[in-house]
Amino acid sequence: MNKIARISILLASSTLLFFGLLHLHGTFFSTDLHPQSLDLTARLKSSHIQMDVSGNLWKLWIGFNAMFSAGLIFIGSINLYLSAKHFQILSDRPFIGLLTIATNVFFVWIGYQYMINAFVLSMSVPLLLFVIGFVLIPGKPRISNEK
């Protein structure tokens, strides 16, 4: 079970890392995340939020996408590193797995509520793999200090 758990977490982590890098590329090096309407892009570049006029909607759009990319890259990288080099840490500390799963559940929910179907699917795959991996990590017997 430990080997299957590790492989599942490695696959999930690699998937998140891949989508984070893909999203970063789409944010800065392509027009994939740009509106189809050039008029809308121009309006976003000239529209500001009420909180601060320096926050135009276009820069905020790019910034939020870049931060989301960084989050995916971080979660994927840290779990990839831990599952590849320090699997015992993941085995001994279920909080990391629970936080990873909770974050991925949030990604799927956000995708379902506000984004495109391809995003929901791309976040559901690593979520499923993380759940399988972290569930299959064998529990460590607890030693009682009571006498």
What is the structure's pLDDT at 143?
52
Q: Which element (helix H / strand E) includes 80? A: helix 57-85
**Amino acid, res. 137:** I
What is the structure's pLDDT at 147?
47
Percent of the chain that is helix, strand, coil (3-state, to 5):
75, 0, 20
Q: Is the pTM of this model over 0.85?
A: yes
Q: How far apart are CA 38 and CA 53, in angstroms?
A: 22
8 A C-beta contact, residue 104 and residue 126:
yes
Q: How far apart are CA 130 and CA 124, in angstroms?
A: 10
CB-count exposure of residue 35 (10 Å: 0-12, 13-18, 19+): middle
Kindly state the tokens that stand for 115.
């984004």
Q: Which element (helix H / strand E) includes 51? A: none
Most distant CA atoms of the chain, gap in Å? 75
What is the structure's pLDDT at 23?
96
Q: From first to last of its 147 residues, what are the pLDDT tens digits of the chain?
A: 689 999 999 999 999 999 999 999 999 999 999 999 999 999 999 999 999 888 899 999 999 999 999 999 999 999 999 999 999 999 998 999 999 999 999 999 999 999 999 999 999 999 999 999 999 997 655 454 554
β-strand partners of 56: 48
What is the structure's pLDDT at 142?
45
Sketch the domain layout of the chain as residue ranges: 2-136
Q: How far apart are CA 136 and CA 128, in angstroms?
A: 12
